[in-house]
Structure 1
């Protein structure tokens, strides 16, 4: 937190890097005229706070960069009302891919982490690649060869293969393309290409409500029975920890018909992080598809997120999941950036 003498006694800095994703009001020194400071204010979403510089995305979707040492006041303010139109579209596209991956990482928190420079090593007993891969955010602080050795060793100690999650096609050249090329030359193979898509939340909030959806803060037996990743008893504990983790998590269930197959008819999950609602784990029983249940689940989760102040949404979907992409496209979701995983070379079988 900055500690500036100018303006103290009449204003106070009440924000820190922990407020990333929140709407804030910030005052900073914009210049000095005849020995007196001039001030300028900005209201918007705090999207980064790195190396003494804050980035706030204002209502027009413009990034405002502010040196921490020039702050004289700052506080979190209530979120803006959920809105549609060009302003909302600009806002959901304004955040950089690195920051959006941080937000998504907080929404799917691993059981165990370890820092390696700007990398975060994540492990959760093998439950999903996202929770068992390296989140790349800058350099590792070591020569690449040594960093990869240490990474591979760390995962091997946990009985896991080493994966790195790499961003491609991000806005403004915000990608890991050069690292991907380095890894390719070292035999790290591509797995699971995916898209991170974003949209304003308003179209989903505006869907007609239904009483069929039941919301809760924990995944019940029917939810877990429907979720396809829950089948492995070896990862049941870590899976529950990851699913239940995040700033503010909601689970949606549409119960199955009485006397029908075990498990819910449809499920979904949402994690609210400031302005952002992360939607995922949307699954519908095969015999219940094409009845609008996925839309009902998404809409109920969106309304819960909007009640907490969210007005933007993101989701992560495999690049070849055409059915899901068609569904999300109807509500304005478009690809913000792509990402994939690079797996360490595997030792030869004996």
Structure 2
């Protein structure tokens, strides 16, 4: 039930608010002559046995003893980011999944099970957006079995941090012993400013295929197998960019897939000896101009949160974080 703690601080949340976005203040320790407090904002994903679990925007779950609460209230969903295209989390997740398609997939309700012989987590994990059509434990058993049949670890990609995201699922996986391995940001931007970058695009070569030179510069794969080529070339309208160095070898590369109003950027890489020369911006600008020619107006990309250099580049290009996503791996031999 709702209760007060005295003064102006009041707890206005109850167990009935599980699933809502909340802001709470808790007593975190005694200081020199004054109590210390900690604030937490996120989705209330459980309230059991005197402990609240709140999942933050970045996917981290904070457990708070009920006895330490001094204030709490429900709060609106995070507002849309200015300068960023209007979109929902489910729409953006679906577009991103189409832009990096797996070699093999199967639907479990609204979950897409994806496999590509282990090439990238995105193409070898469940895109869990919506209802699997089964009770959660039964769905997780099916996921484990499906990936075991392909000698792959069972992994689920879950979004957090925006309206329509999957904080409840993330918390449920954590309670069942699944391990969160990777956190990434799904960022968006208006496409025209990327195309208008003051960058030398005259050296950027564009094509429909990732040729041998492009693949030699791509660091996500050694000798590319057929699954690598199928994923890279998959998507509605795919373009590859590369910038040759003085010897004709690729100094920088990039990939873009155009899907309606969206242009998705990936594999933007610059050789170590060619960095800080504006080549990444030139690749992005050239691909953006091609996407604009095809009618796109919005851009997205995915970047892991520990990739500081790439995040700094995308900051400068106007990309802002729409939401986070995480890959959860099933424990070996553990419960669903």
TM-score tier by shorter-chain length is: 0.7 to 0.9
Provide the rounded CA distance (Å) in 2 between the counterparts of 1:142 and 1:223: 43
Aligned to 2:324: 338
CA distance in 2, matches of 1:129, 1:179: 18
Residues 84 and 320, structure 2, Cα contact 8 Å, conserved in 1: no
Residues in 1 aligned to 2:125 and 2:267: alpha-carbon distance in whole angstroms: 19
Whether the 8 Å CA contact 1:275–1:312 is kept in 2: the answer is yes
- Cα distance change of structure 1 residues 91 and 117 upon mapping to structure 2, 3 Å threshold: farther
2:255 is aligned to 269
Q: What does residue 14 of structure 2 align with?
A: none
Q: Say if 1:168 and 1:337, in contact at 8 Å, map to a contact too.
A: yes
Q: Please name the residue that 1:178 is paired with.
A: 168
Name the counterpart of 1:254. 243
- Structure 2 counterpart of 1:167, from 155, 159, 173: 159
Per the alignment, in what secondary structure is the counterpart of residue 280 of structure 2?
Answer: helix
**Matched length:** 254
Q: Give the Cα separation in 2 of the matches to 1:101 and 1:92.
A: 16
Partner residue, 1:329: 315
Distance in 1 (alpha carbons) for counterparts of 2:83 and 2:144: 38
Aligned to 1:245: 234
**Unaligned segments of structure 2, at least 5 residues:** 1-80
8 Å CA contact 2:261, 2:295 repeated in 1: yes
Structure with the bigger percentage of helix: 1
- Find the aligned partners of 1:95 and 1:178 in 2 and give their Cα distance: 21
**Equivalent residue for 1:221, pick from 189, 207, 212:** 212
The question of whether the paired residues in 1 share the 8 Å contact of 2:105 and 2:114 is answered with yes
Structure 2 residue 188 is matched with structure 1 residue 198 = yes
Inter-CA distance 137–91: structure 2 relative to 1 (3 Å threshold): farther
Unpaired stretches in structure 1, ≥5 consecutive residues:
1-88
Alpha-carbon distance in structure 1 between the residues aligned to 2:314 and 2:84: 15
- Is residue 222–residue 255 contact of structure 1 (8 Å, CA) maintained in 2? no
**Which aligned runs of 4 or more in structure 1 are off by greater than 6 angstroms?**
none
What CA distance in whole angstroms lies between the structure 1 residues aligned with 2:149 and 2:95?
28
Is 1:150 the counterpart of 2:142? The answer is: yes
* Paired residue secondary structure (1:247): coil
**Residue number in structure 2 paired with 1:62:** none
CA-to-aligned-CA distance 1:221-245 (integer Å, 9 cap, x gap): 11100101221x4x61101000000
- For 1:336 and 1:255, locate their aligned partners in 2 and report how far apart those are by CA, in whole Å: 33
Corresponding position of 2:100: 108
Aligned residue among 316, 330, 334 for 2:302: 316
CA distance in 2, matches of 1:327, 1:92: 17
TM superposition shift of 1:257 = 2.6
Mapping for residues 44-123 of structure 1, pairs under 5 Å = 92-123=84-115
CA RMSD of aligned residues (A): 1.7
**Contact conserved, 1:277 with 1:313, CA < 8 A, in 2?**
yes
TM-score by length of 2: 0.73
- Give the whole-Å Cα distance in 2 for the aligned partners of 1:304 and 1:254: 16
Distance 1:275 1:291, change over 3 A: same
**Structure 1 residue 91: Cα displacement:** 8.2
